[in-house]
């Protein structure tokens, strides 16, 4: 099935190196590769030349020349009123068709009303596109055949799996197809199913990022796995230290590490894939906020690098709202049946009408329009946060600003993280310290980190950010003056 994106579809993952040769050639090469690898399926509409040129920061003529060259080579087709679409190519090579054949080789509560809540992981709830969601639910209810109102496919609604995997191929440079996808009720459920499946396959130990979300530790233990922490530095997870753990699975947030905000560097990505091959291991990729990037080009999914060894997990909790309990697991074929069985034994899955509604929301272009709008909202809040933090704490204290909806604020040496968190709470500001994400108790880490605060800015206004940062600065001063 060809996903019929409205108005040219979501953004294509095309990255340009302005010091590496002609930009038009770079765009040609990446589009050819995406079409050959079938990350762009036959019949998919490409963005208009004007839109792609604006997105990449090049002249429209450059993109026109690219499309004309691909048209001449037979990679795309063009028709008046239909735009430029991917042509149907002969089947060949190791990459699977969209039909699924030929598998690849592969804090404390404040004592007064809250003035600013820097809780990590909450999107802007005031920007949730409720009218669009209402339209999608209504449309799903109106158009869904009566025969589809029974029990769904155990893997989830087929249409949503088609749309989610097409979106992941197009925007995140993945290569999963609908047969690789299992629809779940959010990230945590998907992770629990995936880890239980790995345990059934004989894996006993899983490496987790340190610092990282503590809930991952709990979920791993409940699945019967032994979690071991691996330190994160300025380039992401330390793969050399990962090798020392003797783990055969690792869970990480490579696009925007939680909570430090660093992106897994290119050499680390290659080393990680090499590690997985060496130990016959599995990489679990938490793709939690990759859609939100500001000062750098988008980072492709690890799943596209090594689909035989990467399980990618996603949800709409950060992009839409946690209340829309929908997520997905994109897994290598050998794990899909086990994940489906875990889902079958646990629940009936997410409501089918909601799955159909999400598919409609994404395919109609409303989802992508929402992302573009909130991306600019978050960019503005990020800029305010950076400016206020520099005024209050000095330059170079705020890290992880290139993407996502949270940042890491390094506190002055000698500051007590826990005292700042507690003092800020009495002043009406909620925030978590970095120790909240550590696997060892505060003060007992084998590799202590400088004191820091994790500042989520997804669901705070610009005014709240200004007031909150100034209050945090006051709390730090008060803490440092206390004997």
Q: Where are the alpha helices (DSSP H) in 92-208?
A: 130-143, 158-172, 187-200
Q: Residue 155: its pLDDT value, please?
A: 94
Mean pLDDT computed over 426-437: 93
Backbone angles phi, psi at 345, to 5 degrees: -75, -20
Place of tokens 């995406």: 34
The whole-chain average pLDDT of the chain stands at: 88
Q: What CATH number labels 6-86?
A: 1.10.10.10
Confidence of residue 404 (pLDDT cuts 50, 70, 90): confident
Q: Residue 245: its pLDDT value, please?
A: 94
Nearest-CA neighbor of 35 among 83, 85, 82, 78? 85
Confidence of residue 38 (pLDDT cuts 50, 70, 90): confident
Q: Provide Rg for the chain, Cα atoms.
A: 23
- Higher-confidence position of 296 and 121: 121
Q: What percent of the chain has pLDDT above 90?
A: 65
Q: Residue 444: its pLDDT value, please?
A: 44
As a whole number of angstroms, the distance between CA 420 and CA 424 comes to 6
Residues 6+ apart with CB under 8 A from 254: 236, 237, 263, 264, 269, 285, 299, 302
**Range with lowest mean pLDDT among 11-15, 261-265, 268-272:** 11-15
- Is 236:263 a contact under the CB 8 Å cutoff? yes
Backbone angles phi, psi at 232, to 5 degrees: -110, 135
As a whole number of angstroms, the distance between CA 390 and CA 310 comes to 39
Mean pLDDT computed over 426-439: 92
As a whole number of angstroms, the distance between CA 39 and CA 436 comes to 39
String of b and e for 89-107 (b: at least 16 CB within 10 Å)?
eeeeeebbebeeeebbeeb
Q: Where does the chain hold its CATH 3.90.1150.10 domain(s)?
A: 116-122+368-481
Q: Where does the chain hold its CATH 3.40.640.10 domain(s)?
A: 130-363
Architecture of domain 130-363: 3-Layer(aba) Sandwich (3.40)
- Is 287:312 a contact under the CB 8 Å cutoff? yes
pLDDT of 46 above 60: yes
Place of tokens 């042509």: 87
As a whole number of angstroms, the distance between CA 62 and CA 81 comes to 22
- Residues 305-317: tens digit of each pLDDT: 999 999 999 999 9
pLDDT of 116 above 80: yes
Nearest-CA neighbor of 386 among 371, 402, 370? 402
Which SS3 state, helix, strand or coil, does residue 483 take?
coil
Nearest-CA neighbor of 159 among 12, 367, 44, 3? 3
**Angle subtended at Cα 402 by Cα 235 and Cα 384, rounded to the nearest 5 degrees:** 135
Q: Where does the chain hold its CATH 1.10.10.10 domain(s)?
A: 6-86
- Higher-confidence position of 89 and 416: 416
- Is 175:301 a contact under the CB 8 Å cutoff? no
- Residues 348-397: tens digit of each pLDDT: 778 889 999 999 999 999 999 999 999 999 999 999 999 999 999 999 99
Q: Residue 296: its pLDDT value, please?
A: 65
pLDDT of 95 above 60: no
Confidence of residue 94 (pLDDT cuts 50, 70, 90): very low
Mean pLDDT computed over 46-64: 91
- Is 299:263 a contact under the CB 8 Å cutoff? yes
Mean pLDDT computed over 461-479: 94
DSSP state of 7: G
pLDDT of 256 above 80: yes
Which CATH class name applies to 116-122+368-481? Answer: alpha beta
pLDDT of 334 above 60: yes
pLDDT of 1 above 90: no
Q: Residue 90: its pLDDT value, please?
A: 67
Give the pTM.
0.84
**Range with lowest mean pLDDT among 89-98, 149-158, 225-234:** 89-98
Q: Enter the tokens of residue 220.
A: 């791993």
pLDDT of 300 above 90: no
- Is 285:301 a contact under the CB 8 Å cutoff? yes
Nearest-CA neighbor of 176 among 329, 66, 286? 329
pLDDT of 337 above 80: yes
- Higher-confidence position of 410 and 145: 410
**Residue 449, CA distances (Å) to 227, 378, 438 in order:** 21, 28, 10
Confidence of residue 483 (pLDDT cuts 50, 70, 90): low
């Amino acid at each position: 099935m060809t996903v019929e994106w409205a108005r040219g579809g979501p953004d294509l993952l095309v990255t340009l190196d302005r010091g590496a040769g002609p930009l038009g050639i770079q765009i040609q090469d990446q589009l050819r590769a995406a079409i050959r690898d079938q990350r762009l399926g036959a019949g998919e509409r490409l963005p208009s030349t004007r839109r792609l040129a604006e997105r990449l920061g090049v002249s429209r003529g450059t993109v026109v020349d690219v499309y004309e060259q691909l048209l001449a080579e037979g990679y795309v087709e063009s028709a008046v009123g239909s735009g430029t679409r991917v042509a149907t190519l002969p089947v060949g090579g190791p990459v699977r068709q969209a039909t699924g054949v030929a598998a690849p080789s592969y804090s404390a509560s404040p004592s007064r009303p809250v003035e600013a809540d820097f809780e990590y992981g909450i999107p802007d709830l005031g920007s949730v596109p409720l009218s669009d969601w209402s339209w999608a639910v209504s449309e799903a209810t109106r158009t869904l055949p009566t025969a589809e109102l029974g029990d769904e496919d155990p893997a989830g609604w087929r249409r949503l799996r088609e749309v989610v995997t097409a979106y992941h191929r197009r925007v995140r440079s993945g290569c999963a197809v609908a047969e690789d996808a299992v629809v779940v009720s959010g990230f945590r459920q998907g992770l629990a199913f995936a880890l239980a499946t790995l345990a059934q396959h004989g894996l006993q130990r899983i490496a987790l990022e340190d610092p990282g979300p503590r809930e991952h530790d709990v979920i791993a233990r409940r699945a019967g796995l032994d979690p071991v922490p691996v330190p994160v530095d300025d380039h992401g997870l330390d793969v050399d230290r990962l090798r020392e753990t003797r783990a055969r699975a690792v869970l990480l947030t490579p696009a925007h590490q939680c909570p430090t905000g660093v992106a897994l560097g290119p050499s680390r990505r290659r080393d990680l894939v090499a590690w997985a091959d060496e130990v016959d291991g599995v990489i679990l990729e938490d793709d939690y906020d990759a859609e939100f990037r500001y000062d750098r080009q988008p980072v492709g999914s690890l799943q596209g690098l090594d689909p035989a060894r990467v399980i990618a997990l996603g949800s709409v909790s950060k992009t839409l709202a946690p209340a829309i309990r929908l997520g997905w697991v994109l897994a290598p074929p050998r794990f899909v049946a086990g994940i489906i069985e875990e889902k079958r034994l646990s629940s009936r899955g997410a409501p089918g009408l909601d799955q159909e509604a999400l598919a409609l929301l994404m395919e109609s272009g409303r989802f992508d329009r929402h992302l573009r709008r909130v991306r600019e909202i978050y960019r503005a809040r990020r800029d305010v946060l950076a400016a206020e933090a520099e005024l209050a704490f000095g330059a170079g204290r705020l890290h992880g600003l290139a993407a996502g909806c949270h940042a890491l604020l390094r506190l002055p040496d000698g500051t007590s993280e826990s005292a700042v968190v507690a003092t800020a709470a009495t002043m009406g500001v909620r925030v978590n310290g970095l120790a909240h994400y550590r696997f060892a108790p505060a003060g007992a880490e084998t590799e202590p980190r400088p004191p820091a605060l994790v500042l989520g800015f997804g669901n705070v206004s610009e005014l709240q950010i200004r007031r909150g940062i100034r209050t945090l600065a006051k709390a730090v001063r008060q803490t440092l003056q206390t004997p």
